[in-house]
């Protein structure tokens, strides 16, 4: 089982095997959760949803010609409500 000493400032080094398992990188944040039985759970902190901005490619909308627009307007105008 990996272990790490606590520094005089209360800091610990998370062993590499644990960092790799949790997908932690420099600057990552972690949560410490105290369980009902007293155990402590260490888990990656939830990312701010704003950090996801730009990760998906924008959907390209199909260009519609003026002729197609006029045709669609005529078709819809011919319908009764």
Per the prediction, the chain carries an average pLDDT of: 86
Residue 9 resides in a domain: yes
- Strand, helix or coil for residue 26: coil
Residue 67 resides in a domain: no
Residue 17 has a pLDDT of 93
Residue 65 resides in a domain: no
- Structural domain of residue 4, as residue ranges? 1-46
pLDDT tens digits, 58-72? 777 778 889 988 988
Residue 59 resides in a domain: no
Residue 56 resides in a domain: no
Residue 77 resides in a domain: no
12, 6 contact by CB (below 8 A): yes
Residue 55 has a pLDDT of 75
Residue 57 resides in a domain: no
Residue with tokens 């260490």: 42
| Number of domains present in the structure of the chain | 1
Domain at 36, CATH number: 2.10.260.10
């Amino acid at each position: 089982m990996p272990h790490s000493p606590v520094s005089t400032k209360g800091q610990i080094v998370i062993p590499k095997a644990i960092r790799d398992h949790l997908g932690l990188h420099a600057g990552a944040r972690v949560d410490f959760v105290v369980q009902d039985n007293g155990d402590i759970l260490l888990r990656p902190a939830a990312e701010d949803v704003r950090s996801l901005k730009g990760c998906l490619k924008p959907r390209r909308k199909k260009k519609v010609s003026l002729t197609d627009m006029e045709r669609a307007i005529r078709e819809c105008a011919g319908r009764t409500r």
